[in-house]
Structure 1
Amino acid sequence: MRQDDVAADLLDHFSEDGFLFPDYNGFCFANVPDTILSLFDAPTRRTLPNDVFTGIKTDADHVVVVLVDGFGYEQWTRDQHKYDFLDTLAKQGTVTPLTSTYPSETAAAITTVSTGTQPVEHGLLGWFQYYEELAQVLLTLPFSTLDGDYVPENFDGLDGRFLFSSPEQTVYERARDAGVSPHVVMPERISRSEHSKLAMAGASVSGYGDLAHMGRLIRKTLQSADGSSYTYAYIPHVDAVSHQHGTESPEYEKMVSKVTGHIQRELVERVAPAVAENTLLVVTADHGHLDTDPETNVALDTIDGLSDHLKRGPDGEPIPAVGSGRNLQFHVRDGHVEALRDLLEAELDVKTFDREEYTARGLFGDREPSAHFEAHAPDLVAVPRDKLVWYNDGELDQIGSHGGLSPEEMLCPFAVCRLASLQ
């Protein structure tokens, strides 16, 4: 069953002039971690509405969450019929749309899914973020400078705690304290990153080389579990091909077929029936994609006078926009916020928020801001309606984009089913 009525309701209640805002208090990706913990009777802060489990028996010892980065709800509804795994999952289980966090970016949302905290709490607000302590813009998840230098190797004493504010316990540590064995299955190349080490603390982390290997690792984890288990598997492949080729390309279709096919063959078909009977499978995503046109995407470099309004670093140079091309965040000179806003709105089709406005409407979350968030929060946010707006450094060649507030980016699926029902 696919709950398209929930999507209609979210669009009705949380849209404004075509921009869709997060439903932090209800159907929001930020509430997925505590929802999973609630299945094991662990203490929680806020869970998804019970509607997401309509028609599903949730009394399972094992829960597997497969996160397909960038595979939004609108992509699911458009393409479900093309892929047997998705079609069967929708018919045998329940698929509910959620809103993403803001920003609808991997760096923010993936930090949320492992820490159980909103962006306003963990403070990791985009792929690019300015760190005043280093007077540099960093690529957050790679934890590198714009020149490609790995931060821990070039700045003594800095580790993942510099990137974001981690809670007292990660989701995996909370699961462990509830008597549940936590596991993470993720690409080998990022499994030992500083971000992963901090965000995945408490979990047994296994790195995979290819998608078949991923499926085998999930299956092995399930079948060797002694007692209750929670397994989180992260798949970045659809997001990567969407950026390069868009979500309506042959390359995209081939990749979705490959991802869903490996889940079907390596997990669904080959896991022991007795294990499948006692396993709940969740397939979700952190955000969707909006296809943009590289020919009409806009270079910030071409907006005359933009740098005049930007705050300066110690070297006297303006601090460039951070976040991403769909989630523009500006650190602004004192007294220049309104002037910059006027300039951006005159040159671009964007929705803007100063700090007071985005705080009042809980754009980054509706909880108490952390000190890390306060230290790195922008003075002005600009969200383009339907274009990618960034510096002319190669990013503008992307087709699939995300980070903003379009329904395509903001709606993501939460599909749940007993694994045995798929066999």
Structure 2
Amino acid sequence: RYDKVILIFVDAFGWRFFQDYVEQSEFLKRFVVEGVASKLTTQFPSTTAAHVTTIHSGLPVGESGVFHWFYYEPLLDDIIAPLMFSFAGDKQRGTLETTGISEQSLFPTQTLYQKLQQYGVKSYCFQHYNYAKSPFSQVVCDGATTVPYKTIPEALVNLTEAAIAESEKSYFFLYLDTVDGMAHKYGPGSIQFQAEVSTLLLTMERLLYQQVAGKLKNTLLLITADHGQIEISPETTIYLNQLTPSIDKFIKRNAQGKLLVPAGSCRDMVLYIQEDHLDKVYDLLTEQLADRATVYRTTTLLEQGYFGTGEISPLLLNRLGNIVILPHKYETVWWYEEDRFEQHKLGAHGGLSKEEMETILLAIEC
């Protein structure tokens, strides 16, 4: 058993990128030579919302109910962006606050940190100051000491200092989002992405590993990621409401008459179709998207274990749509509303390709 565990969660740094950078990175090479470097598969869908909820709560997506960036929330009768605590499409954070709903009603209230506390283990959660104290973070990080940061060097210095100073059994969690951001904006093969990854790995070698090596006893350093990313192009995005304008009349509406769309992401779009039109829409989309995407009934995905093999909670079942569109490699399907729902990204995740679904678990003793 270890006295201290440090977990660095590098958003989007999937297995494909580990393979690309391991030979040129002293930091990554250490895990291969002196530790463990394993390939894992992500949960489905390969999204940040699903996996950050799991890493904080210990619950798989089938139990947590938090499965995507956008989904229908029955308590609000609308599509929300849970991590932003906003309505889908809103540019600013926290727009759900006007509804008076509590964050505890939307997210799992049991956390890993509460469990560790019961065993006398202190927890520290390092997150960017933009969301370190967000409604989502405040719920899922309950039981941990939250440490906001502005820059990655700052976070690494503060983490290593805290780990060295802490005399009791302790767990340190650091979430980093810059790799994911660069891949979305510029694409996973871009110079900007390469620069971000190379700089991050060098920074972690110098400000993390070299600072703690030999100074911490009985300590385990872990690196993991929620997913990878795959190249996509806005120029080839299929917008459902442009491909089939008549689809409007088959989509469910909320009590205010607002269409419940879009949900999921452009790599795994979730639809809420009126039950009496489900077969018709399934057949229509299967035909129209034949060469570009596979259309599934959500019941099929549930039966085949896509959302886990354990018991699926009503939380998830009530938020899932009844059709899921999974675009083929490099393809995207989404919904168009100018300045609200558009697809501008050059890298994405959420789908079932190995680029998105294969991730990492790296471990080394400090």
Q: Scaled by the length of structure 2, what TM-score is found? A: 0.93
Q: How far apart in 2 are the matches of 1:251 and 1:117?
A: 34
Give the match for residue 17 of structure 2: 75
| Matched residue SS, 1:81 | coil
Cα gap change, 1:394 to 1:131, in 2 (>3 Å): closer
- Maintained 8 Å contact 1:388/1:401: no
CA shift, 1:148, in A, is 4.1
- Maintained 8 Å contact 1:64/1:280: yes
Give the match for residue 238 of structure 2: 298
Count of aligned pairs between the two proteins: 357
Q: 1:143 aligns with which of 77, 80, 85?
A: 85
Give matches, 1:328-407, under 5 Å.
Answer: 328-348=269-289, 349-386=292-329, 387-392=331-336, 393=340, 395-407=342-354
In structure 2, what residue type is equivalent to 1:280?
L
CA shift, 1:415, in A, is 0.6
Give matches, 1:36-55, under 5 Å.
Answer: none
Q: How far apart in 1 are the matches of 2:133 and 2:264?
A: 24
Structure 1 position 313 matched with structure 2 position 257: no
Give the match for residue 412 of structure 1: 359
Structure 1 position 208 matched with structure 2 position 152: no
Deviations 1:145-203 (A, max 9, x none): 233462453112x2222323x15x31111111122111111111111011101111111
Give matches, 1:213-292, under 5 Å.
Answer: 213-271=154-212, 273-275=214-216, 277-292=217-232
CA shift, 1:137, in A, is 1.7
Q: 2:106 aligns with which of 163, 166, 169?
A: 163
Q: 2:37 aligns with which of 84, 91, 95?
A: 95
CA shift, 1:404, in A, is 0.7
Give the match for residue 5 of structure 2: 63
Structure 1 position 186 matched with structure 2 position 140: no
- Maintained 8 Å contact 2:62/2:316: yes
Give matches, 1:89-128, under 5 Å.
Answer: 89-128=31-70
- Maintained 8 Å contact 1:298/1:396: no
Q: How far apart in 1 are the matches of 2:105 and 2:273?
A: 23
Give me the identity figure in percent: 28
CA shift, 1:395, in A, is 4.2
Structure having greater relative contact order (Cα 8 Å, sep ≥ 6): 2
CA shift, 1:232, in A, is 1.0
| Matched residue SS, 2:84 | coil
Q: How far apart in 1 are the matches of 2:285 and 2:96?
A: 36
Q: How far apart in 2 are the matches of 1:398 and 1:141?
A: 19
- Maintained 8 Å contact 2:183/2:193: yes
Unaligned runs of 5+ in 2: none
Unaligned runs of 5+ in 1: 1-58
CA shift, 1:81, in A, is 1.7
CA shift, 1:350, in A, is 2.2
CA shift, 1:135, in A, is 3.0
Cα gap change, 1:193 to 1:369, in 2 (>3 Å): same
- Maintained 8 Å contact 2:6/2:221: yes
Q: How far apart in 2 are the matches of 1:143 and 1:317?
A: 19
- Maintained 8 Å contact 2:72/2:320: no
Give the match for residue 175 of structure 1: 116
CA shift, 1:214, in A, is 0.9
CA shift, 1:331, in A, is 0.9
CA shift, 1:79, in A, is 2.4
CA shift, 1:359, in A, is 1.8
| Matched residue SS, 1:259 | helix
Structure 1 position 324 matched with structure 2 position 271: no
- Maintained 8 Å contact 2:153/2:207: yes
Q: How far apart in 1 are the matches of 2:69 and 2:299?
A: 23
CA shift, 1:347, in A, is 2.1
Q: How far apart in 2 are the matches of 1:343 and 1:288?
A: 31
CA shift, 1:131, in A, is 2.1
- Maintained 8 Å contact 1:126/1:323: yes
Q: What's the Cα RMSD here?
A: 1.7
